[in-house]
């Protein structure tokens, strides 16, 4: 991939966004994007000069103040006031990775030429991105309906030389950092503050981050699930494609095929079994993992559409000679998708914890709690407690946000999506599942040790060899939180992810 990504109107994919973020490329406007932005701004300036009619947010107040006409000489002050007054975020700081995604998505949305902002504003946002200036944005404050107003206000403060940013590892005043990178604070023009604040980039960035992580979560869920299947000495018959041909959900068939592929040359898998059936947490891996995969296809489609859309208000249509106030800032499509994603991903953690429980139960020839000399040693007793606690927390976090709404702005904004709350709790669920899968890997690795001299498949044995360089077999009790954290870190490495078969 080139070291420069040109912002244009070509369809963006989630994989493309992941590459842009990972490879830390520089952004630049394409010639077409520049022309679209300049053309739209020139049209808006001309429209303002010729029209005596109120245009929402351009020469009027905001929200329930939409009928208050603002004098022409106060329009710039109106936009600055908007940004300052809406920067009401609180709570934890949003991670740098997600804030950079927000910035990228805001640039992309403004580049289509339906927002009426100046070319200087967009190019300044690009300069901030390329210099890795990260505004301080906070988790709480957005209703997910008039756009992500509060978090996007914090994202935008730096343009005015206001607020704080993180730059080169330090939190500094925005004005100071702007001087360091030879930029001056902007004087916002009409509509620009509104274009910055109206939009779904807070929700979108969180959702895209979670979707990118989910690809690896689902990959490891299949791989680690296959390891646990061997570790518990399970039958392979539930993964036979004949079973799944008669109930052909795509994710289900794909998962069954993947498990069989991982275990195709396993000595353990092909030994004669005394057990006729296995617990659902093993036997139904295709049905559960597959259902999540199918659900996330809908989520991915929704976010891909949003990624390529315009979500501020009003929208400016130069060719149609219209400025239209609508509701593209409303986050309901994202809020529902974020809730679906939370529920479907949580089930990956739910079934994983059940496999963890089975592995430490002293069944199928495995020692109690996967440790010799149990009694003196508690072994893997308490990691299962930890996993159970996290699964329970995920269930609590899965309460849908999208079914909630609270009236705001004196009744003008009388239905809101609460998608921002759906977004922030989804991030917690994703991190929780990464921990649960790490605990399952820790358990499965230990259980496979007790199957020796029989071996699992070549793929799994190679994966285990790499893993055991970081987390050796546990012979006596030790500080297990360290082993869990080392396993979490291992699963984030390129070497571990190289084993995933997407």
* Residues 475, 8: Cα–Cα separation, whole Å: 57
Contact of 195 with 110, CB cutoff 8 Å? yes
**3-state SS of 210-279?**
HHHHHHHHHHHHHHHHHHHHHHCCCCCHHHCHHHHHCCCCHHHHHHHHHHHHHCCCCCCCCCCCCCCCCC
Three-state DSSP class for residue 461: helix
* Residues 150, 129: Cα–Cα separation, whole Å: 20
* Residues 379, 215: Cα–Cα separation, whole Å: 31
* Residues 429, 364: Cα–Cα separation, whole Å: 32
For the chain, report the end-to-end CA distance as a whole number of angstroms.
20
The residue from 56, 112, 167, 262 that is catalytic is 56
* Residues 296, 207: Cα–Cα separation, whole Å: 11
385 is catalytic: no
Cα 102-107-110 angle, rounded to 5 deg: 120
Q: Which residues partner with 377 through β-bridges? A: 374
* Residues 36, 39: Cα–Cα separation, whole Å: 5
* Residues 97, 162: Cα–Cα separation, whole Å: 21
* Residues 41, 246: Cα–Cα separation, whole Å: 57
* Residues 466, 223: Cα–Cα separation, whole Å: 14
Tokens 């993992």 locate to 289
Three-state DSSP class for residue 167: strand
* Cα Dmax for the chain: 87
* Residues 308, 208: Cα–Cα separation, whole Å: 13
Burial class (CB in 10 A: 0-12, 13-18, 19+), 103: buried
Q: Which residues are catalytic?
A: 56
């Amino acid at each position: 991939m080139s070291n420069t990504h040109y912002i244009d109107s070509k369809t963006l994919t989630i994989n493309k966004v992941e590459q842009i973020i990972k490879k830390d490329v520089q952004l630049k406007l394409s010639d077409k994007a520049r022309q679209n932005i300049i053309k739209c701004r020139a049209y808006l300036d001309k429209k303002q000069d010729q029209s005596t009619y109120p245009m929402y947010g351009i020469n009027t107040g905001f929200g329930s103040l939409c009928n208050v006409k603002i004098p022409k000489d106060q329009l710039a002050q109106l936009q600055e006031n908007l940004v300052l007054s809406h920067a009401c975020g609180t709570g934890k700081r949003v991670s740098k990775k997600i804030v950079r995604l927000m910035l990228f998505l805001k640039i992309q949305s403004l580049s289509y030429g339906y927002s009426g902002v100046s070319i200087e504003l967009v190019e300044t946002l690009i300069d901030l991105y390329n210099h890795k200036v990260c505004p301080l944005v906070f988790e709480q404050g957005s209703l997910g309906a008039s756009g992500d107003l509060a978090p996007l206000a914090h994202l935008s403060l730096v343009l005015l030389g206001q607020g704080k940013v993180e730059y080169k590892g330090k939190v500094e005043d925005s004005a100071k950092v702007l001087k360091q990178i030879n930029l001056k604070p902007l004087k916002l023009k009409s509509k620009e503050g509104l274009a910055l604040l109206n939009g779904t980039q807070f929700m979108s960035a969180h959702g895209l981050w979670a979707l990118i992580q989910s690809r690896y979560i689902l990959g490891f869920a299949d791989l680690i699930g296959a390891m646990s299947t061997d570790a518990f000495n399970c039958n392979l018959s539930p993964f036979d494609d004949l079973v799944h041909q008669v109930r052909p959900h795509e994710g289900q068939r794909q998962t069954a095929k993947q498990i069989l592929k991982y275990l195709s040359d396993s000595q353990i898998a092909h030994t004669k079994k005394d057990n006729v059936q296995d617990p659902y947490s093993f036997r139904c891996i295709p049905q559960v993992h597959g259902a999540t995969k199918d659900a996330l296809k809908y989520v991915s489609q929704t976010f891909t559409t949003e990624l390529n859309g315009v979500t501020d208000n009003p929208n400016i249509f130069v060719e149609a000679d219209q400025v239209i106030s609508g509701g593209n800032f409303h986050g309901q499509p994202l809020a529902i998708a974020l809730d679906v994603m939370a529920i479907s991903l949580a089930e990956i953690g739910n079934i994983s914890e059940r496999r963890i429980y089975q592995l430490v139960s002293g069944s199928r020839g495995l020692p109690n709690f996967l440790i010799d000399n149990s009694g003196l040693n508690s072994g893997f007793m308490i990691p299962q407690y930890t996993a159970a606690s996290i699964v329970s927390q995920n269930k609590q976090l899965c309460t849908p946000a999208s079914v909630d709404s609270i009236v705001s702005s004196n009744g003008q904004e009388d239905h809101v999506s609460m998608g921002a709350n759906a977004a922030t709790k989804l991030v917690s669920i994703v991190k929780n599942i990464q921990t649960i899968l790490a605990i399952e890997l820790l358990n499965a690795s230990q259980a496979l040790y007790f199957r020796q001299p029989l071996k699992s498949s070549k793929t799994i044995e190679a994966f285990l060899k790499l893993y055991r360089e970081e987390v050796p077999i546990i012979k006596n009790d030790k500080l297990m939180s360290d082993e869990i954290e080392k396993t979490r870190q291992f699963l984030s490495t390129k070497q571990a992810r190289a084993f995933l078969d997407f």
